[in-house]
Amino acid sequence: MSLDLVIRGGTVATAEKTFQADVGIEGDKVAALGPALSGKRTIDASGKLVLPGGVDSHCHIEQLSSMGVMTADDFYSATVSAAYGGTTTVIPFCAQHRNDDLRKVLADYHERARTKAVIDYGFHLIIANPDEPTLREHLPEAIRSGVRSFKIFMTYERTRLTDEQILDVMAAARKHGALVMVHAENHGMISWLAGRMVNQGNTLPRYHAICHTRGSEAEAIQRVVALAELVDCPILIVHVSTVEGIEAIRQARGRGLKVLGETCPQYLFLTAKDIDIGIEGALFCCSPPPRDAAAQEACWRGLKDGTLHVYSSDHAPYGRDGKLPKGEKTSFKEMANGVPGLELRLPLLYTYGVGTQRITLPEFVNLTATRHAQTYGLFPRKGSLAVGSDADIAIWDPQKTLVVEQTHDGTGYTPYKGRKLTGWPITVLSRGAVIVEDGRLTAARGRGRFIARESSDALRPLGRDVPEMAQLKAWQTPLQL
């Protein structure tokens, strides 16, 4: 068979194994894996790694934040940056704010991405207004259109939900087959501390890390696990950062509950010390904040033992304008939350994980691509290098060393500046087309496509009741969730 394109002589890695094979591409799909393939065109990958393109299931693109600040990236700059870092699929958020009509929000984000994205994308929703039309009509409609996950917030004044609202959203997710992603931090603990800090003149970014206490993460995780258990709804706790939070997830999983966890580069590679540099510390502030060496260790352990299921960027890009408190904006409470990470997510984990043998190459593929695709209903089309999968492929040079200077996103800075990273993607393909070649972007603006997502095992409820629900059934008392 003569294929359109053959990637020849590389070491292929999947989430299961590493092996020598040529990769044959026909149109936009992987068509063959094996020795001595021939094709109309060839890419020489000898001495290189051939990996499925990364799937980043947590990033904020062209989105108004919970505090009302627009990200520094649009769908073009963010997806270009992702492509340079070996990521070929993103799942950003369509953010509903209070009073927003969810149907309109979703249509807006489709329009923003359609003309700009250079790689494929799905969407999650952020639900901040779980009113009747949202729960009864707009959510089910969005789910049917392939938007099968939504994020809810337990903190941030403008987006947080009450426990009752969280239960409403969970019941709808369970009924219609969607995954609930949770930003778990106790709002009262944080705002009580932050109010006192600012009143007493402690306004620098360092106090952000103090106010977002470890206990606030653990308390919120424990509470939301109890809520999810009541209605038997699978959940995924995003950006987990603490020893205590990871332990809460481990315990929930130990009890057989479907509680998944996610961590991000900032919790493996930064600490609160990075924030403690005066006003510029704002550039390292995100919520939850980076912690300490013990928390970093716990995140590595969590990724290794599966308590933390996926490693995403939580790319939340703001330039210095949004980040640095100024004028009447004088305290850490007013700065935009979040750090950029789309582009360096994979090179960081490769260097500090695979390069130090902390994780294996298949674990790297699993944590950066395959698990995301499986969890969010994109597998095996995405996150996989197998016959029939989309030919979304990153060819890596495991020896290439670069000192990080600047990334391609719109923020104008990176928290990882000066890091010496070894192992970089050099050629990246999306649906069979080369989109990055030897450091040069070759992708046309707007070539990326929306991918409707399927149901997945992660979404299926356990089918098990808490004692109170079982009691109602025994009394033959129907309770409509």
Binding site for Zn ion (CB under 5 A): 183, 314
Element (DSSP H or E) covering residue 164: helix 163-176
Question: Please, which residue, 238 or 393, has the CB nearer to ligand URP?
Answer: 238
Among 10, 92, 338, 353, the residue binding ligand URP under the rule CB under 6 A is 338
Please, where are the H alpha helices in 289-394? Answer: 293-305, 320-323, 345-349, 361-365, 371-375
Binds 86, which of ligand URP, Zn ion, none (CB < 5 to 8 A, cut-off by type)?
none
Among 77, 287, 313, 366, the residue binding ligand URP under the rule CB under 6 A is 287
State in angstroms the smallest separation of the CB of 289 from ligand URP: 8
Residue 265 binds to ligand URP (criterion: CB under 6 A) = no
Binding mask 221-240 for ligand URP (x = CB under 6 A): ------------------x-
Please, which of residues 240-259 interact with ligand URP by CB under 6 A?
Answer: none
Measured between its terminal Cα atoms, the distance across the chain in Å is: 55
Question: Please, which residue, 311 or 424, has the CB nearer to Zn ion?
Answer: 311
Residue 183 binds to ligand URP (criterion: CB under 6 A) = yes
Q: How far apart are CA 238 and CA 41, in angstroms?
A: 42
State in angstroms the smallest separation of the CB of 400 from ligand URP: 30
Contacts of 102 (CB under 8 A, 6+ apart): 96, 125, 127, 129, 133, 134, 138, 139, 142
Binds 286, which of Zn ion, ligand URP, none (CB < 5 to 8 A, cut-off by type)?
ligand URP
| Paired residues of 6 in beta bridges | 24, 42
Under 8 Å between Cβ of 46 and 9: yes
Binds 39, which of Zn ion, ligand URP, none (CB < 5 to 8 A, cut-off by type)?
none
In angstroms, the Cα distances linking 390 to 169, 191, 368 are 33, 46, 16
Q: How far apart are CA 91 and CA 81, in angstroms?
A: 14
Contacts of 105 (CB under 8 A, 6+ apart): 94, 95, 96, 125
State in angstroms the smallest separation of the CB of 338 from Zn ion: 7
Rg of the chain over all Cα atoms, to the nearest angstrom = 22
Question: Please, which residue, 60 or 431, has the CB nearer to ligand URP?
Answer: 60
Q: How far apart are CA 345 and CA 240, in angstroms?
A: 16
Question: Please, which residue, 181 or 346, has the CB nearer to ligand URP?
Answer: 181
Among 314, 343, 363, 409, the residue binding ligand URP under the rule CB under 6 A is 314
Binds 337, which of Zn ion, ligand URP, none (CB < 5 to 8 A, cut-off by type)?
ligand URP
User: 138 is written with which tokens?
Assistant: 């707009």
State in angstroms the smallest separation of the CB of 155 from ligand URP: 8
Long-range contact list for 354-363, CB < 8 A, 24+ apart? 354/423, 355/422, 355/423, 358/300, 358/304, 359/303, 359/304, 361/13, 361/18, 361/49, 362/13, 362/14, 362/15, 362/16, 362/17, 362/18, 363/15, 363/303, 363/304
Residue 351 binds to ligand URP (criterion: CB under 6 A) = no
Binds 229, which of Zn ion, ligand URP, none (CB < 5 to 8 A, cut-off by type)?
none
Question: Please, which residue, 14 or 312, has the CB nearer to ligand URP?
Answer: 312
Residue 337 binds to ligand URP (criterion: CB under 6 A) = yes
Among 14, 22, 24, 60, the residue binding ligand URP under the rule CB under 6 A is 60
Which parts of 283-414 are beta strand (E)?
A: 310-311, 393-403
Question: Please, which residue, 15 or 335, has the CB nearer to ligand URP?
Answer: 335
State in angstroms the smallest separation of the CB of 313 from Zn ion: 9
Residue 316 binds to ligand URP (criterion: CB under 6 A) = yes
Residue 73 gets the label, from left (phi > 0), alpha (psi -120 to 50) or beta, of: beta
State in angstroms the smallest separation of the CB of 185 from ligand URP: 9
* Residues making contact with ligand URP (CB under 6 A): 60, 183, 239, 286-287, 314, 316, 337-338
